[in-house]
Structure 1
C-alpha cells in the first residue's frame, strides 16, 4: 500500500522528481537492512562473545576475615563465586561464574570445568588453563569474589543442636558462640571430618591464640560438644588461678600456659602436685624446673600449687603531708629510718609549719581493729564495769595506730622513733591561737602569747561572768584531755580554756522541786509517827 501510494504520486511528477524518489527509497531500504544486521550482531555478542556484565551495582556479602584468604589452604566448593575477566580475539568477557551444586563452573565460550574440592590456587589454575586451551592468545584474569555458605552439624551439650549455616572462614568458636552452657566442655570439643577427629580446645585458644586449637570449618563437618567431666586445680604463682577442665595427655607446663603463665612473683623452681592414689589417699610430687614440668602428665583431680616469693620486689613506703617542702610517698629500708631523718629527706619544714606538732598514723595498724573495744561494746552500758567504761573513754581520745604531739619536748621524742611501712606523717600549719569559752564575757579565739597564763587569757576575754564557777579547765588540742587548772599548766596553740558555769534554773521549777522535797519529808515523818503509836 505504501509503495502503490508513492507510485501514484510519481506518475504525476517529472522524470527528475521520479529519480529523486527512487534514490530516497533505496537509501531508506539500505539503512533498514544494515540496522537489522547490527541488531542481530549486538544481540549475539551480548549473549555469547562480547557480553559485558556490570557487577558494580550488585549487592555483595561482607565477611569478617581474620586475614586474606590463603589460596593454598582454601578449598572451593558449591556456592563460591569467581570474577572472570577475559580478553580474547573475538571480544571481552567480564562476568561472575558460580560453582554449581555439582562442583563445576560454566564459563562462557569455554564450557564446563570441574573444580570441586580443589584448593583455590588449583581451581583458578584449572579455569585459566581451560580458557587458554580454547583461546591461546587470551588474557585471563580471575579472582574469588564471594565465599560459599554451607551447613555443619552441631551436637552434644549445647543449648541448641542441629545444622548451622557457616562459611569457610568461620571457626568452631564462631559456631558455638552463645551456645555453650555451664555443663558444656570448652576443652574437649571434637571436630569430626570424615574419619578424622580433631581435638578443639577453646580455653587454650582464647589464652594462646593458636589457630590449630580452633580450626576453620569445611563442608560436611560435625562439631560434637562433650559434657564437662573431670577437672584439675592450679593455684599460687600463675596469672589465672582456679579450676580447669581436664584434658587427656596434657602436661603440667601446658596447663600453666593455659592458666596465663607464671606470675611475676612465682618461684618456677618450687611446684608441688598433689595426686590421689585412691579415693582418699594421695601423694605429693615436687617439680623443681620448667623442663621437668613439661614431662609431668596430669591426671584428673590433680592439685597444683606454685609457690610465690613473699618479698618479691616489695616497696616499704611511708607518706608525708602538710607543711613540709617535698610532701609525698617515700620508700624506706625496713626498721632503718627515724621520723626526723625522713623529714630532712623531704626538704624540712616550710615557713608555715608548726614544728611543735606532729601526727603519725598507720592504716594497717588501724585496720586490725580493737578486740577489747569490740568486746566491751557488746555489753549493755549499764552492765559495764568501771574498767570497761574507762577503756572506752581512753580509746575515744586516740585512734588505734596513731600518735600525736602538741608539745615541743614530746614532738622531739617522736622525731627519734623508727618509722614502719604504711606510716603517714603529717605536719600541721602553725595558727597560733587558743580558745576561751564558758563563763567569760567574750568567749572566742585569742592570739597566743608566751607570757600569758590562764588568768591572763580569761582577763583578755573580759573576765568571768556572774554565772561562772571557780572551776577552770585546760583542754589539750593534741589529746582532747581535760586537765584541771594549775599555775604550772603549759598553754599551747589550739588549746581550749574552759570556765565552768552554774546550771541555769527556772525559779518556778525550782520552787516546785523544793515544795516536792518538803512534802516527801512531811509524809515520811507522818508514817513514822503512826508506827510509834
Structure 2
C-alpha cells in the first residue's frame, strides 16, 4: 500500500512529460546530443539566468534602436512561449551570425537588424511548435565589439567595447575619455571600414542635431579613422548652437547644408546673413528663407547679424540689505535708483541707505566720456597704482592689488542727486549692512576695530588705536572703503563707518631693515672672520 503514492507520482510525471513533448517537435537524437552545440551555448550563456522574467530580459532590448542595431557574434536572445510560462529557450549568435538554440536547432540569420533578427527567430520557433502560440523574443545580452581607432586621437589602437556603444563613444575612449575639440578634428568625414564596406559619417551632424544616423552602433571588426581638420570656415553671430567659430567643412559643401546644422537665435536676421568669400575677396548677402546656390571654400567667413528692429532685454540688479533683492527690468529713460529702491521694497532694518551705491562695470575712461557732468562728479576717484605694502594685513594688501590691476568698474555713491539719475543696463545697486565700526590696520600700537564716531577724522581713530608705532609711515596713510565685494582706496580725511584705515610701514625703516642692516651684518661677519684668522696666525708663529 505504501508504494501506491510512488506509483501515482510516476504516472503523473510521465503524463506531464508526454504533454510537453506533444507541444513541440523535437530534433533528432544526434542533433540534440551534438557536443559542440552544447559547449558553444554553455560558454556564451554563462551568467544568464534560466526562467528570467520578461521584464528583466527586456531591459537591454528597450535601450537599443532595433532598426539600427545589427546582430552579431555574442548576442544572446531569450525566447518565451507566452502560453507556457515554464518554457524558455536561449538563442546564442555565433561569429557566422547564426543563432543556436540547443533544443530546437540552428537559425540562419546573417547580418540583420535587431528587428529583422527577432522576426526570423520568432518564425523559426513557431514553425517548431505544433500549436499556434505567441512567441516573445528579447535581446537579453548584447555582444562585445573589438574595434580599431586611428587618426587624430591621443591613444589610437584596438579597443573592446559594448556592442551598444557608438562610433563617438569609441573616439572618446581613444582620446582619454575626452571629446576631441570640433575645431581641431574633422568630425564632418569620419570613415568606418568593416570587411568589404566603407562608410563616411558626419559626426558633427550628430553633435549639433542629435542625428544618430550619423553615429551608428559599433560592429565587431570596425576600423574607425578620424583626421585632423582641414578646410574650415568661420561662423559667428546670433547663434544658439553649442559650437561656432572656425569649424571644418566638407568638400563641395553648400552654405545651405552647412547652415542647416546650426540653431539660430530668435534675434537672428536669417534674410541678411553675410558670407565673405576668401577667394576671390567678396561679400554676399545670403537668405536662409530663399537660399542661393553658394559653395563654401576654405577660410570663408559667415556672420549671422541681429534683426535691426529686435527689442533688447535690459536689466539692473539690487542687492544687499533690501526687502526684495534680485534682478529687475530696466526701462530706458525711466528707471532711476529711487524708483528701483521703491520697487524692491526699500531697505531692511539692518540696511544703511545712506551708504548705498551703484556699481557700473565699465572701464573708467569710457564711463567718464559717456556720463554727464552731474554723474561724473559723483564718481569716486581711482588712485595710481601703489606698490605692495608687506606690513599691511594680507587680505587688505590683496584687495589693493586687485583694485589697481583691474580698474574695470565705477562706484557711484547713491546720494540724493544720484537717486534721481537714470540707471544704465547691468547697473548694480548695493545697500550695505549698518556697520558701526572703523578698522585700523598696519603700523599702530593696537590695530583692530573701534566704534565709529560720525565727523571724526583719521587722527582720532589712530589715537584710539594707541597711536603710531615706531615703524609707521605717517605721510602715506590711506583709507579703504568697501563696496560689496570690492574695496576702493581713498586719501581724503573723511571717515565713514566700515572704513579701513591703513598705516603702512616707514620706507626708511624698510630701507634700513632690507638694505643697510644686511650690509652691516655682512661687514661685521667679515671683520670677525679676519680677526679670528689674525689671532690664529699669531698663535702659530
Task: Say if 2:276 is the partner of 1:274.
Answer: yes
Q: Distance in 2 between matches of 1:276 and 1:94?
A: 67
- Identify which range, 163-172 or 311-320, moves more after superposition: 311-320
The 3 A distance-change label for structure 1 pair 157 and 65 is: farther
Alignment of structure 1 residues 438-517 onto 2, 5 Å: none
Change (3 A) 1:70 1:366: closer
Check the 8 A contact 2:90/2:101 in 1, yes or no.
no
Q: Which residue of 2 aligns with 1:284?
A: 283
C-alpha contact 1:86 1:138 (8 A) present in aligned 2? no
3-state secondary structure, aligned to 1:178:
helix
Shift of 1:210: 0.8
Given the two structures, how large is their TM-score scaled by the length of structure 2? 0.51
What residue is the counterpart of 1:136 in the other structure? 130
Contact 1:252 1:297 in 2 (8 A): yes
Deviation at 1:201, TM superposition (A): 2.3
Distance 2:128 2:428 in 1: 90
- Partners of 1:318 and 1:188 in 2: how far apart? 47
Q: Which residue, out of 53, 59, 66, partners 2:47?
A: 59
- The change in CA–CA distance for 1:63 and 1:308 in structure 2 (over 3 A counts) is farther
Query: Does 1:170 pair with 2:172?
Result: no
- Per the alignment, residue 99 of structure 1 pairs with 93
User: Is the alpha carbon distance of 1:275 and 1:81 closer, same or farther for their aligned partners in structure 2, counting shifts above 3 Å?
Assistant: same
Q: 1:149 maps to what in 2?
A: 144
Can you list the C-alpha shifts for 1:457-516, whole angstroms capped at 9, x where unaligned? xxxxxxxxxxxxxxxxxxxxxx99889xxxxxxxxx99xxxxxxxxxxxxxxxxxxxxxx
1:131 touches 1:140 (CA, 8 Å); kept in 2? no
Structure 1 residue 214 displacement after superposition: 0.7
Question: Of residues 217, 239, 252 in structure 1, which corresponds to 2:255?
Answer: 252
Given that 2:357 and 2:429 are in contact with CA atoms closer than 8 Å, whether structure 1 keeps it comes out as yes
What do the CA deviations read for 1:290-339 (whole angstroms, capped 9, x no partner)?
224575432221111122369742325475987x9988765454334666
Aligned length: 370
**When you count strand as a share of all residues, which structure comes out higher?**
1
Secondary structure of 1:83's aligned partner: strand
Distance in 2 (CA, whole Å) between partners of 1:332 and 1:105 is 69
Distance 1:284 1:80, change over 3 A: same
Range with greater deviation from structure 2 (308-317 or 245-254) = 308-317
Query: 1:254/1:353 Cα in 2 relative to 1: closer, same or farther (>3 Å)?
Result: same
Shift of 1:377: 6.1
Deviation at 1:234, TM superposition (A): 1.1
1:363 aligns with 2:369: no
Look up the match of 1:506.
none
Per the alignment, do residues 295 and 135 of structure 1 end up closer, same or farther by CA in structure 2, a change over 3 Å counting? same
1:329-373 CA distances to partner (integer Å, 9 max, x unpaired)? Answer: 654543346666667767789999999x68654524674489998
**CA deviations over 1:41-92 (Å, ceiling 9, x no partner):** 99x99x96999x999x951499995944455554434333333557999xx9
1:185 corresponds to? 186
Using a 3 Å threshold, how does the CA distance of structure 1 residues 130 and 266 change in structure 2: closer, same or farther? closer
Q: Does 2:200 align with 1:202?
A: no
Residues 365 and 225 of structure 1: CA distance in aligned 2, closer, same or farther (over 3 Å):
closer
CA RMSD of aligned residues (A): 5.7
Query: Closer, same or farther in 2 for the Cα pair 1:354/1:169, shift >3 Å?
Result: closer
Describe the shift of the 1:132–1:160 C-alpha distance in structure 2 as closer, same or farther (beyond 3 A): same
Instruction: Quote the Cα distance in structure 2 between the aligned partners of 1:342 and 1:147.
Output: 62
**TM-score normalized by the length of structure 1:** 0.51
Residue matched to 2:312: 313
Note closer, same or farther for the CA distance 1:366–1:300 as it changes in structure 2 (3 Å cut). closer
CA distance in 1, matches of 2:411, 2:83: 94
| Bigger radius of gyration among the two | 1
How big is the shift at 1:245? 1.6
Equivalents in 1 of 2:421, 2:328: separation in Å? 17
**Alignment partner of 1:303 out of 279, 288, 301:** 301
